[in-house]
Amino acid sequence: MDDGRSDLQEIEIAAAVGLVVTAAGFAVTLSRRLRAPVARLFTWKLLAPFAPLYDRLSAGLDAYRHSYTALALAFGASLSALILANFTDYFIVQSLGGGNPSHLYLPLNPIIASC
């Protein structure tokens, strides 16, 4: 993007990489075929403490493995909340005299929420 804000390019790249890693992890977690091979990874000594967490997460996603409608509704609700939060941040900055383009807030909001 060439909007005069090259100082935010690193943040934009980090947000894009984070999105890809998160989406890939979520896809692997939802996959019925990959559930058992991923569970075997948690038998390694280094990952063994995280096995109960993976088991709970995997069991929690069982409802979405068989009902794509529920998955789409949950995705839509999450996306709506994220978009509303982005607009809120944008309007707050604009009211304070910011002047930044709105597309700069889309990658920043998930990063801020995860901190």
Contact predicate 109/12, CB 8 Å: no
Phi/psi at 61 (5° precision): -90, 0
Q: Which domain holds residue 28?
A: 7-66
pLDDT tens string 48-67: 999 999 889 888 888 788 88
Tokens of 25: 């992890």
Q: Is residue 2 part of a domain?
A: no
Residue 110 has pLDDT above 70, yes or no: no
Does one domain contain both 93 and 59? no
Does one domain contain both 14 and 59? yes
Q: Is residue 56 part of a domain?
A: yes
Q: Is residue 27 part of a domain?
A: yes
pLDDT tens string 15-30: 889 889 988 888 888 8
Tokens of 27: 């896809």
Look up tokens 């280094």; give the residue.
46
Look up tokens 């890939």; give the residue.
24
Does one domain contain both 96 and 58? no
